[in-house]
Amino acid sequence: MTLKLELSGDTEIVGTRRFAASPARVFTAHTDPDLLSKWMTGPEGWVMTVCESVAKPGGALVCTWRDEEGNEFSLRGHYLEVETPHRLVHVERWDGSEDMVDTEVETLFEPDGNGTLLTIRMRYPNKDARDAALASGMAEGMEVSYARVDAL
């Protein structure tokens, strides 16, 4: 059950991963700020110090991370669409990145046997932004975090 990333066109990355929990539980892990702050911490040594998630159209999504040396970065955005427990669409901007571009993210939570197939489609404004995201090591950070969802 590891994250698989594929390119789609010049501006998209599509990720898929299976979880051994129901779509409702995986959806809640992606929207509840108390749960988000427990699993979405990326590589070891980082903690989430701020987590705001108001999962409704127009609702805020704000996360800030800090490492042991005091380095910090943030994600800021808002929800566009929320179809509990099947689909989320939000816009995000990574404040710690040099490019600081808006990315639209669609996340689907589909029943898959006794679990969930998660599909995440990240739409970047251009190919350079997409390639920079891939080069940042995002796949490793995402998988480390998703493994924590399994533990929840």
pLDDT of residue 99: 59
- Encode 84-100: b = buried (16+ Cβ within 10 Å), e = exposed: ebebbbbebebeeeeee
b/e code 18-48 from CB counts within 10 Å (16+ = b): bbebebebbbbbbbebebbbbbbbbeeebeb
- Can you give the pLDDT at residue 76? 93
Quick one: which H or E segment has residue 127? helix 127-135
Residue ranges, the chain, pLDDT below 50? none
Structure tokens, 49: 């110090």
| CA separation for the pair 122, 119 (Å, rounded) | 10
Helix (H, G, I), strand (E, B) or coil at 78: strand
In this structure, the number of other CB atoms found within 10 A of the CB of residue 130 comes to 22
Q: Which residue has the tokens 């898959």?
A: 112
pLDDT score for 94: 81
